[in-house]
Chain A
Amino acid sequence: MIIKVRTGGDRDRDGLTAAEIELRLLEFGFVEGARVEVLHEGPIGGDPIAVRVDGIRIALRRAEAMNVVLAPEAA
């Protein structure tokens, strides 16, 4: 389960501000309380990854995924 979605930290790049990265993660459904499951990893260096977020399959790069803090779900 997601416990926190952070801003993109100090990674202001290419007109993409840290806050923008957070907003985009949010718009794709990475929001506190959502259930996340990692489904697949890419062929090179395990990047990108495919995850299921509340039933929706999404591919994203690890760099962005680092802003999503997860906690194991209490059984």
Chain B
Amino acid sequence: MTSSRIDTVALVGNPNCGKTALFNALTGGRQKVANYAGVTVERKEGIATLPSGRRLRILDLPGTYSLRARSPDEAITRDAVLGRLADEPAPDVIVCVADATNLGLVLRLALELKTTGLPMVFVLNMIDIAERQGIDIDFEALSRELGAPVTATVATRKRGLETLLELAASQAEGMRASPPSGWREPSATEVRAAHRQARELMRAAVQPPSRPDTLTGRLDSVLLHPVGGVAILLGLLFLMFQAVFTWAAPAQDLIEAGFGALGVGAAAVLPDGWMTGLVVDGLIAGVGSVLVFLPQILILFLFILLLEDSGYMARAAFLMDRIMGGAGLHGRAFIPLLSSFACAVPGIMSTRVIDSRKDRLTTILTAPLMTCSARIPVYTLIISALIPNRTVGGVLSLQGLVMFSLYAAGILSALLVAFLIRKVFWRGGSELFMMQLPDYKRPEPGNVLRNLAQKAWAFISRAGRIILPLMVLVWALSSWPAPPVGAQGPAIAYSAAGRLGHWLEPIFAPIGFSWEMVVALIPGMAAREVAVAALGAIYAVGGEEGALAGILSRQWTLACGLAFLAWYVFAPQCIATLAVVRRETGGWLWPAVMFGYMLGLAYAAAFLVFQASRALGLA
């Protein structure tokens, strides 16, 4: 069949029912899937092809309990379904996705969706789990009562997809011109009536589980225990940071040795002169000094992905709610803040699940204080250069402890900043907090590995796209101009970078930064880890030999290393973060505020740490 126009199918349903898993299965997409509510915060589209060759445009949307959207992510779903988006008409078919083990709330949503007048298919996803629990669903009764075809899928195993597509396609045939929407905001009375109707439906079509899931209840009695649960949460976080520090070492040594050999090989092959300098000092030393952190970043992501996919994330939010609430943060701020440990950019985007604008802004402003993975290279480099590799109390590594305290400093300062924002700028009680606690699931190995590979690739390609060209620049600026004849001291002091560094040095002298550190901060504006690459290049051009950590341990005092670490707890140095804040807040005001306050904090913290450690005699 050759249709000039492709029909659009929108996936709508409660949060965490498997819409994105279904979208990925239907379209071959690679959108993020995880076991907590509020993963998808954007509208995504893809193409699914039926066996007949017919194509359908599939929309993945944020989950919602109602079309009466409250938060920005729910508004996207409402606007997409009602055809209120500027450049797009309403979809031709709605596929209402249900978690087959949890039908109560979605049936009410389905009744609400019916009032839009759009053709609908009702799909019982996660039917595998429902079958395992012995939930018996009468498809015909459901279909009759809902007035929509009903089918079942297992998105993660790609079961039932063809039938779903056929049904969606035939529903699209039925009604060509989309009817005027009959939807309007339901009143409380109407919601109650719809609930009654949904409950009737449940009674008529769904047999409760004969083998209910008891695992979740048993795990929760441990993991949500008022004392034990908090201890486990802290233990998990601590284990995560210890692992980042200790498990990665062998792989890191390997990568480091590889780049070392590459440098030696390149130097042997290339003719003497500036070419060798560029390749060996600029590119290999610079990019290599960042890529050695790949193993650590993968370990961190592995932990976060496992927590996300198991269903633990919502529990962590539950345990942290009161502490976060005390600082004036919304309960749903926990997940954006936790994902900011990986990177603040998706963290800031996921604040769309927060309904109140003020709460959302507070979370956005504090998210970059969470220690993102780009800080890992900076932290680990300086820790391994300057903190002795000792164990404390027999088991804990001192380096791991310092790392943990840097993370703790980030978290505490985020809470403090949030508290000040709430107290000084916008007063008022904290917002409504209601969140579904999903059933625990065994993390899908395929899903975890695919996500991990995506992260690894993103890190490597960033090294290629951002770090590589910047390294050429850093290398050129620190190699030219050449020193005049008969000049004293190292050549690099006469280069453009050297001059700039020396010129800026007085500003940074009170916080103990040497001119090399100052120069490294500048390309580090693009992304935090670039500072490490820049240090690598600057010292290599300056004629220092060996691994960067070794160089730093000779060149830097402990006080100055600690000041550098303190700077990076707060440093606003990431253009991508500022850009996403601009996009999410719609202007330059908030990125400017963020930049200003973080820069101020960075300087103040570095100053305090430097002066205090000098006073303690650590210079």
Chain A residues within CB distance 8 Å of chain B: 13-16, 19-29, 31-33, 39-48, 50, 54-61, 64
- Are A44 and B323 in touch, CB under 8 angstroms? yes
B437 at the interface (CB under 8 A from A): yes
A57 to B223, CA, bound (A): 15
Known: A61-B433, A64-B432, A64-B434. A23 touches B188 (CB 8 A): yes
- Are A60 and B433 in touch, CB under 8 angstroms? yes
**7 closest Cβ pairs, A-B complex:** A57-B437, A44-B322, A40-B224, A43-B226, A31-B195, A27-B65, A60-B434
Among B66, B70, B105, B325, which residue has its beta carbon within 8 angstroms of that of A56? Answer: B105
A35 to chain B, nearest CB (A): 11
- Are A59 and B429 in touch, CB under 8 angstroms? no
Set of chain A residues within 8 Å of B438, measured between Cβ atoms: 57
- Are A56 and B433 in touch, CB under 8 angstroms? no
Among A29, A42, A64, which residue has its beta carbon within 8 angstroms of that of B318? Answer: A42
- Are B192 and A41 in touch, CB under 8 angstroms? no
B331 at the interface (CB under 8 A from A): yes
Known: A26-B192, A59-B434. A42 touches B321 (CB 8 A): yes
B401 at the interface (CB under 8 A from A): no
Within 8 A of A (CB), among B317-353: 317-319, 321-323, 325, 331
Set of chain A residues within 8 Å of B192, measured between Cβ atoms: 26, 31-32
Set of chain A residues within 8 Å of B66, measured between Cβ atoms: 27
A14 to B432, CA, bound (A): 10
Known: A13-B429, A59-B318. A50 touches B437 (CB 8 A): yes
- The size of the chain B interface, using a CB distance under 8 A, is 47
A26 to B295, CA, bound (A): 47
Set of chain A residues within 8 Å of B433, measured between Cβ atoms: 48, 59-61, 64
B358 at the interface (CB under 8 A from A): yes
Sample 26 A-B pairs with CB under 8 A, ordered by A number.
Answer: A14-B428, A23-B188, A27-B65, A27-B108, A28-B105, A29-B105, A33-B196, A33-B199, A40-B220, A40-B224, A42-B319, A42-B321, A42-B322, A50-B437, A55-B102, A56-B104, A56-B436, A57-B216, A57-B436, A57-B438, A57-B439, A58-B435, A59-B318, A59-B433, A60-B434, A61-B432
A47 to chain B, nearest CB (A): 6
A14 to B422, CA, bound (A): 12
A54 to B208, CA, bound (A): 11
- Are A61 and B226 in touch, CB under 8 angstroms? no
B431 at the interface (CB under 8 A from A): yes
Since A46-B226, A55-B208 are in contact, a sample of 12 more A-B pairs with Cβ atoms closer than 8 Å, ordered by chain A residue number, is: A24-B434, A27-B68, A39-B224, A43-B226, A43-B227, A48-B321, A55-B104, A56-B104, A59-B317, A59-B321, A59-B437, A60-B433
Known: A14-B358, A55-B102. A61 touches B321 (CB 8 A): yes
Within 8 A of A (CB), among B210-236: 216-217, 220-221, 224-227, 229-230
B63 to chain A, nearest CB (A): 12
- Are B432 and A24 in touch, CB under 8 angstroms? yes
Among B68, B105, B196, B217, which residue has its beta carbon within 8 angstroms of that of A23? Answer: B68
A22 to B190, CA, bound (A): 13
A43 to B271, CA, bound (A): 67
- Are A45 and B322 in touch, CB under 8 angstroms? yes
A45 to B321, CA, bound (A): 11
In the complex, residue of chain A having the shortest beta-carbon distance to the beta carbon of B103 = A55
- Are B102 and A39 in touch, CB under 8 angstroms? no
- Are A47 and B322 in touch, CB under 8 angstroms? yes
Set of chain A residues within 8 Å of B68, measured between Cβ atoms: 23, 27
Known: A13-B428, A29-B195, A59-B321. A43 touches B435 (CB 8 A): no
In the complex, residue of chain A having the shortest beta-carbon distance to the beta carbon of B427 = A14
A46 to B224, CA, bound (A): 11
Set of chain B residues within 8 Å of A28, measured between Cβ atoms: 65, 105, 434, 436
B411 at the interface (CB under 8 A from A): no
Set of chain A residues within 8 Å of B317, measured between Cβ atoms: 59
Interface of A is mostly: mixed
A21 to B429, CA, bound (A): 14
- Are A43 and B220 in touch, CB under 8 angstroms? no
- Are A59 and B432 in touch, CB under 8 angstroms? no
B440 to chain A, nearest CB (A): 11
B203 to chain A, nearest CB (A): 12
B284 to chain A, nearest CB (A): 50
* Residue of A19, A27, A28 with most chain B CB atoms under a 10 A cut-off: A27
A3 to B35, CA, bound (A): 32
Known: A26-B192, A54-B104, A55-B102. A14 touches B321 (CB 8 A): no
Set of chain A residues within 8 Å of B142, measured between Cβ atoms: none
- Are A26 and B322 in touch, CB under 8 angstroms? no
B512 to chain A, nearest CB (A): 39
Set of chain B residues within 8 Å of A60, measured between Cβ atoms: 433-435
Among A13, A15, A27, which residue has its beta carbon within 8 angstroms of that of B191? Answer: A27
* Residue of A29, A46, A47, A59 with most chain B CB atoms under a 10 A cut-off: A59
Set of chain A residues within 8 Å of B225, measured between Cβ atoms: 40
B356 at the interface (CB under 8 A from A): yes
A61 to B431, CA, bound (A): 10
B527 at the interface (CB under 8 A from A): no
A16 to B330, CA, bound (A): 14
B548 at the interface (CB under 8 A from A): no
B265 to chain A, nearest CB (A): 57
- Are B104 and A42 in touch, CB under 8 angstroms? no
In the complex, residue of chain B having the shortest beta-carbon distance to the beta carbon of A46 = B226
A31 to B191, CA, bound (A): 9
- Are B428 and A48 in touch, CB under 8 angstroms? no
A32 to chain B, nearest CB (A): 7
In the complex, residue of chain A having the shortest beta-carbon distance to the beta carbon of B230 = A43
A62 to B431, CA, bound (A): 12
Known: A44-B323, A48-B433. A26 touches B428 (CB 8 A): no
- Are B226 and A42 in touch, CB under 8 angstroms? yes
A72 to B26, CA, bound (A): 47
Q: Mark B56-85, 1 if CB is under 8 A from A, else 0.
A: 000000000110101000000000000000
